[in-house]
Amino acid sequence: MVEKTESKKTKSDKESPKDKARSTPSHRSCGALESYFNLVDRYPEFRFNQASIEGFTKAFMESGRAIARTGIVTIPTVVHVVYRTDDENISDAQIKSQITVLNKDFTATNADVGNVPAPFRALVGNPQIRFELASRDPAGNEVKGITRTQTDKTSFGINNGVKSSATGGIEPWDTRKYLNIWVCTLEGDLLGYAQFPGGPRETDGVVILNTAFGTNGTASDPFHKGRTTTHEVGHYLNLSHIWGESRIPNCEDSDFVNDTPNQFGPNTGKPVFPRVSCNNAPNGDLFVNYMDYVDDEAMFMFTVEQVARMQATLAGPRSTLVSG
């Protein structure tokens, strides 16, 4: 594949009604867990790495180091746009709108945080993380933190094909030093997926559907407020779905934090408070959490203990990312 900064659309490149319908799912779907299980089949060490990371995370949280940390840390970020048509070659403005959303959501300065139901407001945590498009590439050249790669692939799945030029995508920059985000057309109803810490370097990062990225351009309702990327970066920083990770939803599964109420499974759309499951009345599910499956405009917060997990990740398995 050839990296390009611009392309010209031909008649055959125009998006068909079928492609458009496929690119705008009506409900959230995340492939992080499925991607994880696919990877551990080929990289058994991933499972062992995760166990070690979990031990470190637990000790870090119990030590109080997460509470003691002050100041914002910055993660250098590169966005890889992989496109077939002009519409898929999203603009710099759309990319920057997504970085703005991440910086608000990961500092708890998003305007809609005030929509958290009153019983849950004491749980709102501030990750104190910001994201900055990289100003230099791995070779030290001045860049704007965006790559553009034209492909002949109509879509990509969760098999990490977008992360290799051999399969129609583009390789990551050094995943120890950059958060790599690929933006492309994904198969079916998939909005995105991320790799948890501890996996292979050559596939590390986050993949987002191009119509669920940022807040302008091709971003489409109900995933037009940048929260798909917030959700997937949460996974990248070692957060689980709020209901847990079991393939069969149940009330005993855990997301490894204590301040999120147990819930039976994902919530979708725009639930009305309270949404009760798993005997968690009167307040019910914390569906306004970024790690649930609700629409973009219905999710507003991370919890204090989710923040502690992310801080443990930046102190441990992803410590090489932190630039300040």
The token pair at 259 is 């301040």
Q: Which residue's entry shows tokens 């958290």?
A: 116
DSSP string, 224-236: -SSHHHHHHHHHH
Catalytic residue among 232, 252, 297, 305: 232
- Tell me if 251 sits within 8 A of 264, measured CB to CB: yes
Per the rule left: phi > 0, alpha: psi between -120 and 50, beta: everything else, 189 is: alpha
Residue 232 designated active-site = yes
Q: Which residue's entry shows tokens 């300065």?
A: 109
Secondary structure, 3-state, 147-187: EEEECCCCCECCCCHHHCHHHCCCCCCCCCCCEEEEEECEC
Report how far residue 160's alpha carbon sits from residue 183's, in angstroms, rounded to the nearest whole number: 12
Would you please indicate which residues are annotated as catalytic (active-site) residues? 232
